[in-house]
Amino acid sequence: MKISKEELIHLQLQSIIRDNNIPHDELKYLGEKAGHHWYLIDGRHEVPSCDIMDVDEVDGDDARV
């Protein structure tokens, strides 16, 4: 089964949200609109998953989404 990069990013973000205690003001799933999955990042940036280039895990107190 082959999935698009956009769908992979969406699934990775859903896994991060599900498996970690991420505050909604850092990362929140807004739902699907216009055929894309949308996220609220840092409490102020509404971004479709197609515009997210990569998902990297960051350890430490200075971790940011």
Burial class (CB in 10 A: 0-12, 13-18, 19+), 39: buried
Residue 6 and residue 62: Cα distance in Å, rounded? 26
- Please, what's the b/e burial string for 5-19 (b: 16 or more CB within 10 A of its CB; e: otherwise)? ebeebbebbeeebee
Q: Are 65 and 42 in contact (CB under 8 A)?
A: yes
What is the value of pTM for the model shown?
0.81
**Predicted confidence (pLDDT) per residue in 13-41, tens digit:** 999 999 998 899 999 999 999 999 999 99
> Band of the pLDDT at 60, cuts 50, 70, 90?
low
- Is residue 62 pLDDT above 70, yes or no? no
3 state SS of 41: strand
